[in-house]
Amino acid sequence: MRAEVEGGADAALLVRRVRGPFKGGVIIGKEAGGRVQVEEAFEKLPNPPSNLAITAVYAFSARSMSAISSVKPGRTGESELTDGISELAKEGRVVALVMDDDEVWLSVGNPEAYHNSLNVSYELAKTHVRDRGARKSKYQQRNDQAGQDQEGSRSQFRNPQMEMIRFHLARGVDSPQHL
């Protein structure tokens, strides 16, 4: 997405193809090879014109900020980001990248979805750590063991959330409630 903005787009969005009506934002546009030239974005329509759901992952150019900040409250009574995206799309400088069907999208739009996403991401991380350990060479395993034995050692994970999950897994924590 960053490459799209650095390449001249004012905005790049990540979208996911969904089945059935979607209650959030959607886009319409010309699709080719997993990339959509966005023509318009809509928010919370009763009958959305598309099944390309906006996942709330964006990249914006500096220039796009003035267009987005000038959006007036619309049909919902709120200033919607999708209205700003539609304004930018009129100039043909908004693209969307379509997620592959096997990629995971975890919605966090309400408390229940957020809780579910924590559980799912925890399970995915646990599986990743377990699977990754099975594929390591003896040299990597020895270095990992040495790193676990020395407090403050640098982790193989650069993401602090993954490091926390790894820390708890190494100590036998098996439930995200403990995190």
Q: How high is the pLDDT of residue 141?
A: 55
Are residues 129 and 83 both part of a single domain? no
- Determine the structural domain holding residue 135 and report its residue range: 111-178
Residue 104 lies in a domain: no
Q: How high is the pLDDT of residue 75?
A: 77
Q: How high is the pLDDT of residue 54?
A: 93
Q: How high is the pLDDT of residue 142?
A: 52
124 with 178: CB under 8 angstroms?
Answer: no
Are residues 117 and 85 both part of a single domain? no
Question: How far apart (Å, rounded) are the C-alpha atoms in residues 7 and 20?
Answer: 34
Residue 105 lies in a domain: no
Question: How far apart (Å, rounded) are the C-alpha atoms in residues 125 and 102?
Answer: 16
Total structural domains in the chain? 2
pTM of the model: 0.64
- What CATH number does residue 81 fall under? 3.90.550.10
Q: Are strands 52-60 and 25-32 parallel, antiparallel or unpaired?
A: antiparallel
Residue 16 lies in a domain: yes
Out of 41-45, 147-151, 171-175, give the one with best mean pLDDT: 41-45
Q: How high is the pLDDT of residue 85?
A: 94
Q: Could you please report the per-residue DSSP string of 41-83?
A: EEES-SS-S-SEEEEEEEEE-TTHHHHHHTPPP-TTSS--HHH
* Interval 50-79 mean pLDDT: 88
Q: Which one of 98, 130, 154 terminates a domain? A: 98
